[in-house]
Amino acid sequence: MQNIIIGTAGHIDHGKTTLIKAMTGRETDRLMEEKERGISIELGFTYFDLPSGRRAGIVDVPGHEKFIKNMLAGIGGIDLVILVIAADEGIMPQTQEHLNILNLLKVKTGIIALTKCDMVDEEWLEMVAEEIRETISDTFLYNAPIIPVSSTKKLGIDELIKYIDKLTIEVENRDNTKPFRLPIDRVFTITGFGTVVTGTLVEGTLNDEDTIMIYPHGIEAKVRSLQVHDVKVDKAEAGQRVAVNISNLKKQQLSRGDVLAAVNSLQPTMMLDCKITVLSDSPFSIRNRERVHIYHGTSEILARIVLLDQEELLPGEQGYAQLRLEEKSMAKIMDNIIIRFYSPMVTIGGAIVLDANPPKRKRYKDEVLKELKLIEEGNPKDILLHFLKVHSIDFMTIGEINKKTGISIGDIEKNYNLLIEEKSINKFIIGGEVYLIHVDLINNIIDKMKSYLECFHKNYPLKPGASKEEIRSRFFGKIKIKIVEELLRYIEGTGIIKINEETIALGNFTILLTEKQKSIAQLIEDEFIKGNFNPPRFEEIVQKGGKDIKEYSQVFEALVGWGKIIKINEEIYFHESSYNNIIKMLYEYFESHQEINVANFRDLLGTSRRFAIALLENFDQKKITKRKGDIRVLQH
């Protein structure tokens, strides 16, 4: 069954709380101060069953201008509003401000309760109704029914409930497929149970015993139990008022404005890119770098507005801006925000979030404005493609893209397949995770890598290739090695490069020796073969063959790269034939011996202790031998 949250709105003393009591039989004012003063200060919550069988949650908000921040903490998650206007007073300042806020929050459905109708005559009632019609003509309530009621005499209450029931059919279903999100509006403790938080579940499904995260603190916790409308449940769904009993957390660790959500489903941010709307009746304009209060979910945060496309937004105008926050926010793309002036604190406008984790933006940049306009238009395929074009360098998984863009996992999967068919992006599956990368990034990496390797082969024609580690750091920065390896395999598959253990070369690269280099190579090999188990130092060969150290070094490195000369350490090398013979002799020795020490090995080869130690350490690394104290045993 569809879940409904009804909110109240309206000026102080117009009878919101009394109306709720008349409809439900329950009192939503719970503080002693509220009862003594006869005004609502904090949010009130209750529920009632509609004639159709739907159970609706109710959020009753305070109407006094001093408590507008409390009103904003409760009104954000509602589906339908009852705008309460007293017949004896009509439209008042907080009526208008609340109506402006509801418009800015994109509330789509509502009804007007004209309270205290028993205190005025019919003519006055008609005049007030006419004034209301004029006021709401350019709002979402333009066609809303106006129901005269008297909460004390129970006049019109049944008709009001009947209309509410009818309107709930028009309410859009919430999305239960997204990771759950619950902005906290109240925190308290219950003896024997511990910490409890309440809020409206705006997205997803929350289950008993789920592991949850408290944002922006990043604290993991566990759900001990759930209640919806005072009834214990195993599961709560989007659109329900939920009380969550949390295990092993103290009340002091939580506060209104925090958010309960799925683990790693949100990303705290200090900046938000938005489309701002200034109210047409705002007493103030918004100038660049204006300091304001912003209200999102149940949080209140100070921020500076950096206008991206103009110097000032006048009443009734819209523009793109970046909000530079003074505290972390947990907003998501397409969330709505209310903006109030820093001082005096009056509502001046609202905003819709277009990028919840943006970089610091420069003003008047066409590419930035184009990106924000694209997000605003809301085509998931275009948004995904543009996002990947800009952010593929971060190598993100589908889950990370979902968090950054607000596009649902389902829409990402549907649209990335279309983009793959169009050859706009590539998909990589690494460690069970799907990564999406724009072809422009891959082509850019390939072009730069080709240029680098062409230059490398020109300068080092006898080297088998550049170091793979050098390629990693130069072209992939701090990206995880498993991702780099998969991308390198993909590029190798194109034939553009070839990978040989720890070196990378162009696919068509081959080492060609000149006649002089061939003779140097032969001399080097001959000297190592002659030295056998007591090989020469490279410098000794250079002194014997000539003075061209650079060319000798290049040829020597080429022989090492081809495996003709085997590197043992930075100073000791053996010819491959000698090295293979040593291994053969070692295995033969172990046919009749259980172990060998350095002295035995030295005598076996007729070599020096220095060479014997270096070779045994090399064999340990290659898992041929295993050291046990001063001896080695055969490892396999």
CATH number at residue 574: 1.10.10.10
The Cα–Cα gap between 578 and 601 comes to 15
155 and 48 in a common domain:
yes
User: pTM (2 decimals)?
Assistant: 0.73
Task: Pick the last residue of a domain from 262, 292, 310.
Answer: 262
Residue 174 lies in a domain: no
At residue 133, the pLDDT reads: 93
Q: Is residue 176 assigned to a domain?
A: no
391 and 435 in a single domain? The answer is: yes
The conformation of residue 488, written as its DSSP 8-state character, comes to H
The β-bridge relationship of strands 55-60 and 4-9 is: parallel
Give yes or no: residues 253 and 357 share one domain. no
Domain final position from 229, 262, 295: 262
Does residue 588 fall inside a structural domain?
Answer: yes
Residue 420 shares a structural domain with residue 491: yes
The one-character DSSP state at 552 is: H
Question: Is the distance from CB of 12 to CB of 67 less than 8 angstroms?
Answer: no
Residue 175 included in any domain: no
Total domains in the fold of the chain: 5
- The answer to whether position 173 is within a domain reads no
> What residues of the chain score a pLDDT lower than 50?
1, 34
Tokens read off for 290: 């204006």
Reading the block at residue 88, the tokens are 């004896």
List, as own/partner pairs, every contact residues 31-38 make where C-beta atoms lie below 8 angstroms and the sequence separation is at least 24, other chains included: 38/13
Q: How far apart are CA 287 and CA 522, in angstroms?
A: 78
- 441-to-307, 469, 633 alpha-carbon distances in Å: 30, 20, 51
Helices (H), 392-434: 398-405, 409-421
CB 62 within 8 A of CB 96: no
The reply to whether 202 and 297 lie within a common domain is no
The C-alpha atoms of residue 253 and residue 424 are separated, in whole angstroms, by 46
What 3-state DSSP class applies to 198?
Answer: strand
Residue type, 24: T
Closest CA to 285 of 341, 338, 324, 351: 341
Tokens representing 628 are: 């046990």
Q: Based on the domain organization, do 522 and 601 belong to the same domain?
A: yes
- Give yes or no for a cis peptide into 344 (omega within 30° of 0): yes
Residue 437 lies in a domain: yes
Q: Which helix (H) or strand (E) holds 366?
A: helix 366-377
* Structure token digits, residue 467: 């170091």
Domain stop point among 223, 238, 262: 262
Q: Which amino acid is at 476?
A: F
Question: If you write DSSP's letter for every residue of 112-161 in order, what string do you get?
Answer: EEEE-GGGS-HHHHHHHHHHHHHHTTTSTTTT--EEE-BTTTTBSHHHHH
The answer to whether residues 419 and 498 belong to one domain is yes
State whether 23 and 152 are in the same domain. Answer: yes
- 223, 212 Cβ separation under 8 angstroms: yes
| pLDDT of amino acid 35 | 53
Q: Report whether 437 contacts 413 (CB < 8 A).
A: no
- Report how far residue 376's alpha carbon sits from residue 393's, in angstroms, rounded to the nearest whole number: 23
Residues 461, 562, single domain; the answer is no
User: Is there a cis peptide before residue 216, judged by omega within 30 degrees of 0?
Assistant: yes
| Residue 459 CB contacts under 8 Å (≥ 6 apart), including other chains | none
pLDDT at 33: 56
pLDDT computed for residue 2 by the predictor: 65
Instruction: Return the CATH number at 308.
Output: 2.40.30.10
The secondary structure of residue 356, as a DSSP letter, is: S
Domain range enclosing 334:
269-369
Q: How many other CB atoms are there within 10 angstroms of residue 138's CB atom?
A: 10
Burial of 337 (0-12, 13-18, 19+ CB in 10 A): buried
Same domain flag for 216 and 289: no
Q: Is 219 inside any structural domain?
A: yes
Strands (E), 279-411: 286-287, 290-296, 299-307, 312-313, 318-329, 336-341, 347-355
Looking at the structure, do residues 431 and 289 belong to the same domain, yes or no?
no
Task: Specify the CATH number for the domain of residue 89.
Answer: 3.40.50.300
Question: 537 near 571, Cβ under 8 Å?
Answer: yes
Are 186 and 246 found together in one domain? yes
